[in-house]
Structure 1
Amino acid sequence: MPEKSWFFAMKENELNEGKIGFARVKGTPVILVKKDDTIYSLYGKCLHMGCRLSKGNFIDDYTLKCGCHGWEYDIRSGKHNGDDNTALEIYENKIEDGKILVLL
Structure 2
Amino acid sequence: MSERVRAGTVGDLGPGERTVVTVDDEPVGVLNVEGDYYAVQNTCEHMGGPVCSGRVQGKLVAEFTEPGQRPEEDFSDDKTIACPWHGWEYELETGDHIGDDRISLETYDVTVEDGVVYVES
What TM-score bracket applies, with the shorter chain setting the length? 0.7 to 0.9
Amino acid at match of 1:76: E
Runs of 4+ in 1 over 4 A off after TM superposition: none
C-alpha distance in 1 between matches for 2:23 and 2:8? 9
Name the TM-score, length of structure 2 as normaliser: 0.74
Letter in 2 for 1:97: D
**SS of the residue aligned with 1:63?**
strand
Percent sequence identity is 31
One-letter identity of the residue aligned with 1:57: R
Equivalenced residues, count: 102
* Cα distance in 1 for residues equivalent to 2:54 and 2:14: 15
Quote how far apart the aligned CAs of 1:86 are: 1.0
Larger Rg: 2
Conserved in 2, the CA contact under 8 Å of 1:9 and 1:25?
A: no
- In structure 1, the gaps of 5 or more residues are none
The equivalent of 1:102 in structure 2 is: 119
Identify which of 40, 53, 65 aligns with 2:82. Answer: 65
Q: Cα RMSD over matched residues?
A: 1.7
Select 1:34's aligned residue among 27, 32, 51: 32
Structure 2: stretches of 5+ with no match in the other structure: 59-76
Report the CA distance between 1:26 and its aligned residue: 4.9
